Amino acid sequence: MMLLEAYTLGNIALKNRVVMAAMTRARANTDGVVGDLTVEYYTQRAGAGLILTEAINISADALGSPFTPGLFTAEQTQAWRKVTDAVHAKGGKIFAQLWHTGRIGHSVDRKGILPVAPSAVGITGQQHFTSQGPLDFEVPRALTLEEIKLTILDYKQAALHAIEAGFDGVELHAANGYLPNQFLADNTNLRTDEYGGSIENKSRFILEVMETLIEAIGGERVGIKLSPFQSYGGIVLNDPIASFTYLIEQLNKMDFAFIELMKRSPMFPLNPDYPTGDEVEIFAPLTTHTVIANCGYDKDSAEAVLQKGLAQLVSFGALFIANPDLPKRFSVGSELNAVDFNTMFAGGEKGYIDYPALA
Ligand SMILES: Cc1cc2nc3c(=O)[nH]c(=O)nc-3n(C[C@H](O)[C@H](O)[C@H](O)COP(=O)(O)O)c2cc1C
pLDDT value at position 94? Answer: 98
Instruction: Give the Cα-Cα-Cα angle 174, 93, 38 (nearest 5 degrees).
Output: 80
CB 173 near ligand 1, within 6 Å: yes
Of the pLDDT bands very low, low, confident and very high (cuts 50, 70, 90), residue 323 is very high
DSSP code for 170: E
Catalytic residue among 7, 155, 178, 297: 178
What Rg, from alpha-carbon coordinates, does the chain have? 19
Q: Which residue, among 39, 63, 65, has the nearest Cα to 53 in the 3D structure? A: 39
Torsion angles phi and psi, residue 186, rounded to 5: -85, -35
Q: What is the pLDDT of residues 259-296, one digit of tens each?
A: 999 999 888 888 999 998 999 999 999 999 999 999 99
Q: What is the pLDDT of residues 136-145, one digit of tens each?
A: 999 999 999 9
Query: Is residue 179's pLDDT more than 90?
Result: yes
Q: What is the number of the ligand 1 atom nearest to the C-alpha of 54?
A: 8
Dihedral sign, CA of 233, 234, 238, 239?
positive
CB 27 near ligand 1, within 6 Å: no
Please tell me the distance from the alpha carbon of residue 213 to that of residue 172, in angstroms, as a whole number. 9
What does the mean pLDDT of the chain come to? 97
pLDDT value at position 143? Answer: 98
Cα 306 → chain centroid: 21
Average pLDDT for residues 200-222, to the nearest whole number?
98
CB 296 near ligand 1, within 6 Å: yes
Q: At what angle do helices 145-164 and 74-89 cross, to 10 degrees?
A: 40
Q: What is the pLDDT of residues 18-27, one digit of tens each?
A: 999 999 999 9
Nearest residue by C-alpha to atom 11 in ligand 1? 22
Task: Give the start-to-end residue ranges of the domains of the chain.
Answer: 2-343
pLDDT value at position 3? Answer: 98
Average pLDDT for residues 35-53, to the nearest whole number?
98
Q: Active-site residue 7, yes or no?
A: no
Query: Is residue 112's pLDDT more than 90?
Result: yes
CB 172 near ligand 1, within 6 Å: no
Of the pLDDT bands very low, low, confident and very high (cuts 50, 70, 90), residue 234 is very high
Query: Is residue 238's pLDDT more than 90?
Result: yes
Of the pLDDT bands very low, low, confident and very high (cuts 50, 70, 90), residue 109 is very high
pLDDT value at position 56? Answer: 98
Percent of all residues in the chain with a pLDDT value above 90, rounded to a whole number: 97
pLDDT value at position 86? Answer: 98
pLDDT value at position 270? Answer: 87
2-343: CATH number: 3.20.20.70
